[in-house]
Amino acid sequence: MDAVRERDATAQENVRLSMRVNGEEVDVLFAPYKTLLEVLREDLDLTGTKHGCELGECGACAVLVDGEPVLSCLALALDCEGREIETVEGLARGPELHPLQAAFADLGAAQCGYCTPGILMTAKALLAAEPAPSRERIKEAISGNLCRCTGYQQIFEAVEEAARQMRDEGGAR
């Protein structure tokens, strides 16, 4: 019984903190044990970010924190005070898809689409750092993102196509 009471985190008080999510200032009230993944999906209703393990093994939950890819299932939301979070919902500019999104949709890089948000965010960070990555670099960058559907090849091609597009348009976005 004691062990249970100890673990009864719901008895703890909610905490409030603010962060920037997809360019917007948000204030959010949540149970302090929650991961960034849980706060995004459950408290901010940003369900575009997925989960396949909640143990840091699949990459489905990857988001950008201050521009760096982070597994949101391993990040405590409490640690994100004042940080800049980017999720798949923030990729498009209004109705206009991000070049990565367009390439993924056009080239078959999203089959079931479940791994897609995590891979898109990881690829975005890659292209921000390396506008013209080699196939090998792309493979390395997304090696922590499991995709069970595509066999990865169309994902590589989509990242390459998006990189080309973005270079033509003159830089990262």
Partner 1 sequence: MSARTRFNVIGKPRRRVDGRAKVTGQTRFADDIKLPRMLHCKILRSPLPHARIESIDVARAEAHPGVHLVLTGKDFPVTYGMMPVSQDEYPLAPERVRYVGDPVAAVIARDEQTAAQALDLIDVRYQPLKTIATIEEALATPEPRIHDYGERGNIHRNQSYEFGDVEEALAHADHVFEDVFFFEGNTHLPIEQHAAVATVDADGKLTLWSSTQVPHYLHRALSRALQFPAAHIRVIACPNGGGFGGKCDLHNHEIVVSRAALRLGRPVKICLSREEVFYMHRGRHPVLMKMRTGVTRDGRLTGMSVQTLLDGGGYGGYGAASTFYTGVLQPVTYELPRYRFDAARVFTNKPACGPKRGHGTPQPRFGQEVQLDKIAERLGMDPAELRLNIVAKPNSLTANWLRIGSIGLAECIHKVVDASGWKDKHRKLPEGRGIGIACAAYLSGAGVSIYWNKMPHSGVQLLLDRSGQVTVFCGATEIGQGSDDVLAAIVAEVLGIDAFDVRCVTGDTGITPVDLGSYSSRVTVMMGNAAIQAAERVRELIADAAADELDVLPERVVFARGQVFASEDPSKTMSFREAVAFAETKYGTLGSVGSYSPPKAPGRYKGAGVGPSPAYSYTACVVEVDVDPITGWITVPKVWVAHDIGRTINPVLARGQVEGSIYMGLGEALMEEQVFRRLPPKLSNALVHKIPSLLEYKSLTSLDMPEVETILVEDPDPNCPFGAKEVGQGPLLPVMPAVANAVFDAVGVRIDEVPITPDKILAALAKKAKGEVARVGPDRFPDVPYPEPIFVLPPSEGGDGNATKAPHRDEPARHKEAAAS
Query: According to CB under 6 A, which residues from 51 to 70 bind ligand FES?
Result: 51-54, 56-61
Helices (H), the chain: 2-7, 36-38, 99-106, 116-129, 135-141, 153-169
Report strand pairing: 68-71 vs 84-86: unpaired
Structural tokens at position 149: 């559907």
Answer for which of 85, 115, 141, 162 binds ligand FES (CB under 6 A) is 115
- Short-list 64, 82, 105, CA closest to 27: 82
Contact region with partner 1 (CB under 8 A), list: 64-72, 77-85, 92-100, 165-173: 92-100
CB of 117 to ligand FES, least distance (A): 10
- Strands ordered across the beta sheet of 24-30: 24-30, 15-21, 84-86, 62-65, 68-71
Residue 18 touches which of ligand FES, partner 1, none (Cβ within 5-8 Å per kind): none
Contact string 33-52 vs ligand FES (x = CB under 6 A): ------------------xx
Give the residue with the Cβ less far from partner 1, 76 or 82. Answer: 76
Q: Is 153 in the site for partner 1 (CB under 8 A)?
A: yes
